[in-house]
Chain A
Amino acid sequence: AQSVTQPDIHITVSEGASLELRCNYSYGATPYLFWYVQSPGQGLQLLLKYFSGDTLVQGIKGFEAEFKRSQSSFNLRKPSVHWSDAAEYFCAVGAREYGNKLVFGAGTILRVKS
């Protein structure tokens, strides 16, 4: 069965510090991978996506993620966190073969301390 694991439920970082959010997946088809962000009271906004090609993908708001097939991982990174990055982050996996139905991880809540 398809699954996505985000091992960290909560992460707290200081403003200006670097960030890495972990995501591991198990998926039978050739996956494409997403990171979404949800600010309090808001819907989900796409940060970045990986379909194929270069395994390091750039997204909005200075985020990037690296696809590592050998580790079944798609970790999200940001070199310097801003207070406005505090939100919940979701990793998701899907495939065209499965009709774009995305399977989501449980989410990681990011807190930023000043």
Chain B
Amino acid sequence: DADVTQTPRNRITKTGKRIMLECSQTKGHDRMYWYRQDPGLGLRLIYYSFDVKDINKGEISDGYSVSRQAQAKFSLSLESAIPNQTALYFCATSGTRPNTGELFFGEGSRLTVL
């Protein structure tokens, strides 16, 4: 089983719909991140969380919200999806004991907004 699991893996939705992408991890890491990937732009940070009570905006947080329900769970929501949010979304985790700096990624959630 994957250490970082994202659901759903693929989703097609319509403009204006609310969408939630979920991420769970079994690595025991404190820190979790949401990135989006667009062709030619690489990965850009949407939100990150250093623990359950700590949520921070990343580079491109507009139009998104997150919830850290537990140490192991970090959800990304699009309250009213729009077509330019069509992208591949990645959840990632990192540990602090030890702090290696490395991110561990899920397999991605491909979202298409029509």
Q: A1-17: which have CB < 8 Å to B?
A: 4, 6, 9
The one of B50, B101, B105 that contacts A49, using a Cβ cutoff of 8 Å:
B101
The stretch that binds A, out of B35-43, B64-72, B77-85, is B35-43
A71 interfacial contact with B, CB 8 Å? no
How many pairs of A and B residues are in contact by the CB < 8 Å rule?
58
**Interface size of B by Cβ–Cβ distance < 8 Å?**
23
Q: Across the interface, which residues of B come within 8 angstroms of A107, CB to CB?
A: 40, 42
B74 interfacial contact with A, CB 8 Å? no
CB-CB nearest in chain B for A50:
B101
Q: How far is the CA of A100 from the CA of B30 in the complex (A)?
A: 12
A101 interfacial contact with B, CB 8 Å? yes
**A63 smallest CB distance to B (angstroms):** 16
**A67 smallest CB distance to B (angstroms):** 14
Q: 14 pairs across A/B with beta carbons < 8 Å?
A: A6-B42, A36-B105, A43-B106, A43-B107, A49-B102, A95-B101, A96-B101, A99-B48, A100-B94, A104-B35, A105-B42, A106-B40, A106-B42, A107-B40
